[in-house]
Amino acid sequence: MTAYERLREACGVIRDLEHTAALLDWDQQTFMPVNAEPDRVAQLTTLAGVIHEKQTDPGFARLLEQAEAECRDCAPDSVQACLIRRLRRDIEKQSKVPVDLVKQLAEAAAQAHSAWAGAREKAQFSLFAPHLERLLDLRRQYAVLFAPYESIYDPLLDNFEEGFTAKQLDILFADLRRNLVPLLRRIIDSQPPAECPKAVYGEKEQLAFINEVLHAVGYDFTRGRQDQSAHPFTNEFGLNDVRITTRIFPEMPLSALLSSIHECGHALYAMGVSRELDRTPLADGASFGFHESQSRLWENLVGRSRAFWEYCFPVFRRYFPEQLKNASAEQIWRAVNHVEATLIRTESDEVTYNLHIMLRYEMEKELLNGTLAVKDAPAAWNAKSMELLGVEPANDAEGILQDIHWSMGEFGYFPTYAIGNLLAAQTWCAAEKQVPDLEAEIAKGNFRPLLDFLRRKVHVLGARFTPAETLRRSLDAEEIKPDCFIRLLEKKYSRICGF
């Protein structure tokens, strides 16, 4: 066996263990008995330890060196070269961070997490403040290890969007904001009311309805399944096992449907990665932003399109004939596109979502730079909320304490949601050009041409290349831009609002 073959097998072992940990996590969120928590924590901790042992095994590093020597003449875009590049990058990043700092971060996050949950329950930021202070301090120590950089934000962002910088985000967000804030005002001033008929939509029927739609969209139930959980998520245990979950609200049938289509978008990506990359870290999305682009594309650009409801409304009415007897495709389409500036990110719509992200991005930068003190953060949050969205939280629970991410010590994650939105729009615009009769096929319930396009252009590449290189290869684009995103919104809302 060559060093490369042995290296691949070593990667396979790590990947199998990661998939195993993912199954423990999936089970914990779906079927695990309530009192099994301590046993599950022990298993997850043990597995994390074993994965860490394997990743930091000196034999693994030696194998990588030997594989690099073997690969001097590899084609730079061969799987072999791409895998080696990726492993080298991971090892170099890892080697810069002292084990002690990793431990401190893990411990601080574990403590912060329960403090955050308690603080949110009491809507009292001061209970969480010292933990946030500590996490920011540790994350600054972490970032400094990657100097030089232009912004201290860059090394953190790089963990989610390799190679992307705060400078790029600043330009992108400034552009987006310039267009989005006035657009939001125009929409809110002119949109006619629209809602899904108020009624009870049975859980069983909702699940059957969603199931039919997922089948039509192309979710492969022989390689996945849908269950219920408190928060919808997608989890991958191999290219042949990508599961999604949903959450049913009897009075909001569109919530579960769109959330399922969102998770299905993630799952289609994971299922579509080339089998050449199986059991390697390349069998993944190109970045967090890329992954989010696939879920958002299906949720917003398909699931909230007029064409989709041409197909979907008759299906919807077949499951709920009583509830929908006076409704129409046009009405439901308008309902799922209703815009409202609200306080909570996870409930926000296509237009306001990115504004929520900008708020968090600005907060993170200022907190990390030290230009904003932790004690002043709630007031700053509220002011920014007013400025960007025109609404102000009545308390910290619906303001600065609403998201889990900071309590996990994760800074630099939020922007990937916005990147996902913009990338989704860019991908859609490319599909419009390259897929014949895109909307007409969707209106007929034929999603195959779109899925084939995504498979061929995006999914198959997995994490083989950097995000920038993936963008070039999949969409023939040099950078992420807000143009498509804004254009698609303007087109949709000029039709809805008549401007």
3-state SS of the chain? Answer: CCHHHHHHHHHHHHHHHHHHHHHHHHHHHHCCCHHHHHHHHHHHHHHHHHHHHHHCCHHHHHHHHHHHHHCCCCCCCCHHHHHHHHHHHHHHHHHHCCHHHHHHHHHHHHHHHHHHHHHHHHCCHHHCHHHHHHHHHHHHHHHHCCCCCCCCCHHHHHCCCCCCCHHHHHHHHHHHHHHHHHHHHHHHHHCCCCCCCCCCCCHHHHHHHHHHHHHHHCCCCCCCCEEECCCCCEEECCCCCEEEEECCCCCCHHHHHHHHHHHHHHHHHHHHCCHHHCCCCCCCCCCHHHHHHHHHHHHHHHCCCHHHHHHHHHHHHHHCCCCCCCCCHHHHHHHHCCCCCCCCHHHCCCCCHHHHHHHHHHHHHHHHHCCCCHHHHHHHHHHHHHHHHCCCCCCHHHCCCCCCHHHHCCCCCCHHHHHHHHHHHHHHHHHHHHCCCHHHHHHCCCCHHHHHHHHHHCHHHCCCCCHHHHHHHHHCCCCCCCHHHHHHHHHHHHHHHCC
Is residue 16 involved in binding a second copy (CB under 8 A)? yes
Asked if 91 touches a second copy (CB under 8 A), the answer is no
Between 210 and 419, whose beta carbon lies closer to a second copy?
Answer: 210
* Residue 283 or 480 having the CB closest to a second copy: 283
| Shorter beta-carbon distance to a second copy: residue 33 or 76 | 33
Per annotation, catalytic residue among 263, 292, 299, 362: 263
Q: Is 23 in the site for a second copy (CB under 8 A)?
A: yes
Of 43 and 211, CB closest to a second copy:
43
Which region among 82-90, 139-147, 197-205, 215-223 touches a second copy (by CB under 8 A)?
Answer: 215-223
Q: Does 57 bind a second copy (CB under 8 A)?
A: no
Q: Compute the least distance from the CB of residue 370 to a second copy, in Å.
A: 41
Q: Which of 202, 238, 281, 390 binds a second copy (CB under 8 A)?
A: 238
The only residue of 3, 6, 25, 47 in contact with a second copy, by rule CB under 8 A: 47
- The smaller minimum CB distance to a second copy, of residues 47 and 115, is found at 47
- Determine whether 263 is an active site residue: yes
CB closer to a second copy, 35 vs 326:
35
The yes or no reply on residue 499 touching a second copy (CB under 8 A) is: no
Q: Which of 2, 5, 31, 75 binds a second copy (CB under 8 A)?
A: 31
Decide if residue 48 touches a second copy (CB under 8 A).
no
Selected from 3, 6, 20, 91, the binder of a second copy by CB under 8 A is 20
Rule CB under 8 A: is residue 27 a binding residue for a second copy?
yes
Q: Near a second copy by CB under 8 A, which window of 36-44, 93-101, 385-393, 482-490? A: 36-44
Question: Catalytic residue positions?
Answer: 263
Interface residues toward a second copy, by CB under 8 A: 12-13, 16-17, 19-20, 23-24, 27, 31-40, 42-43, 45-47, 49-50, 220-225, 227, 237-241, 243, 279
